[in-house]
Amino acid sequence: EQFTLNFTITNLRFTPDLGTPNSAKFKSTQKIMQHYIDPLLQKSSIGPYFTGCKVTGFRSGRNRENVGVDAVCSYKTNDSLGAFDREKVYQELSTMTNGVTTLGHYSLERNSLYVNG
């Protein structure tokens, strides 16, 4: 099963090469984002069933100083997991990012976290 994860970084400037999937900047930033996202989800309630995220895109935020991050994340279905609870995962990620304010050395736009299952 898959779910999407979106959030906005406020201290990463959007540039055209960040929006180009085959560019060196896209690929390096993609690896960095996955480095931060995957451990958070591994520590969440879906952790035992979590199989990874793939950052699929970066987009310009409300101004060019902000970067929107889009990711598709996967987990193995399991009877003990029950139905995917996107609200619970959202709350856990919110807590683990200090109220949706930090992700590693990146600052997050407080109301930008979105989990869609």
Sorted by where each starts, the structural domains of the chain and their CATH numbers stand as 2-116 (3.30.70.960)
Q: Residue 108, SS3?
A: strand
Residue 39, Cβ neighbours under 10 Å: how many? 13
The overall pTM is greater than 0.95 = no
Strand partners, 69: 7, 58
pLDDT at residue 81 in the model = 63
pLDDT at residue 73 in the model = 95
Q: Name the stretches of the chain with pLDDT < 50.
A: none
pLDDT at residue 36 in the model = 96
Tell me the per-residue pLDDT of 44-62, one tens digit each, with 9 for 90 and over.
988 998 999 999 999 997 7
| Long-range contacts at 96-100 (CB < 8 A, ≥ 24 apart) | 96/40, 96/43, 96/44, 97/40, 100/7
